Amino acid sequence: MHQTSWGLSTRIFGAIIMVHGDDSGLVLPPAIAPTQVMVIPIQQKKEGVLDKAYELKETLIRSGFRTKVDDSDKSPGFKFSEQEMRGIPVRVEIGPRDIENGKCLICRRDNGEKIEVALDELSDTIAKLLVQIQQDMYDRAKKHLEEHTYEATTKEEFEKIFAERSGFVKAMWCGETECEEKIKEDMAVTSRCMPFEQKCLSDKCVYCNKPAKKMVYWGRAY
């Protein structure tokens, strides 16, 4: 149900949006995360806790979310760190007191926000949350990309920007593979994407001066 917006964003930004990270590890967008939700039982040795965790997992899987339970013997704190390191977008914490109150705690990996949710609203809340996280990550990536994108119309400008700044450069290109190969060889820079919204920055290729065919985002090759 979320395929339209996800497909578009991943196509436009390619590798840029695919992998995020912070000091705690990876931050994966829900669309590509192999596990979207990790259920972490608190005081799992207490009666009924693990059963409830498995029950929540089944409910979430039935609602279409890639869900796991961390039922290992590690401490909850350790499990939290592991879930954060792996970039799993959402964790659900469930302990004896939560079960008593018919609630659980949800924590977003991308911004650390914690939300208390009634157990019977868990699936609906997770559904909205995953869409929201995907959108927020997309918006942040887009903003970051815009803030680190420059324009060049001459070879000198093109080279100067890559020498002095980190980020991407919008520039016109002749469309010839030979020219692109040469740019890669000379500058270790490759074409990243051809935006749908084309803008004519100049009528000449930024590198070889032949007639320009399209505007391309260029970035350093890794």
Closer Cβ to Zn ion, 16 or 174, answer by number: 174
Question: Is 171 an interacting residue with respect to Zn ion (CB under 5 A)?
Answer: no
Closer Cβ to Zn ion, 179 or 201, answer by number: 179
Question: Is 187 an interacting residue with respect to Zn ion (CB under 5 A)?
Answer: no
Question: Is 42 an interacting residue with respect to Zn ion (CB under 5 A)?
Answer: no
Question: Is 174 an interacting residue with respect to Zn ion (CB under 5 A)?
Answer: yes
**The dihedral formed by the CA atoms of 98, 102, 103 and 104, expressed in degrees to the nearest 10:** 60
Closer Cβ to Zn ion, 127 or 179, answer by number: 179
Q: Figure out which of the listed residues 50, 127, 179, 201 binds Zn ion, where binding follows CB under 5 A.
A: 179
CB of 13 to Zn ion, least distance (A): 24
Q: Figure out which of the listed residues 66, 194, 208, 220 binds Zn ion, where binding follows CB under 5 A.
A: 208
* DSSP sequence for the chain: --HHHHHHHHHHHTHHHH-EEETTEEE--TTT-S--EEEEESSTTSTTHHHHHHHHHHHHHHTT--EEE--SSS-HHHHHHHHHHTT-SEEEEE-HHHHHHTEEEEEETTT--EEEEEGGGHHHHHHHHHHHHHHHHHHHHHHHHHHTEEE-SSHHHHHHHHHH--SEEEEEE---HHHHHHHHHHH-EEEEE--SS---S-SB-TTT-SBP-EEEEEEE--
Q: How far is CA 114 from CA 33, 60, 91, in A?
A: 20, 18, 10
Closer Cβ to Zn ion, 131 or 179, answer by number: 179
Q: Which stretch binds Zn ion (CB under 5 A): 25-33, 63-71, 136-144, 204-212?
A: 204-212
Q: Which stretch binds Zn ion (CB under 5 A): 11-19, 82-90, 173-181, 193-201?
A: 173-181
CB of 203 to Zn ion, least distance (A): 12
CB of 210 to Zn ion, least distance (A): 5
Q: Figure out which of the listed residues 205, 215, 217, 218 binds Zn ion, where binding follows CB under 5 A.
A: 205
Under the rule (CB under 5 A), what is the footprint of Zn ion? 174, 179, 205, 207-208
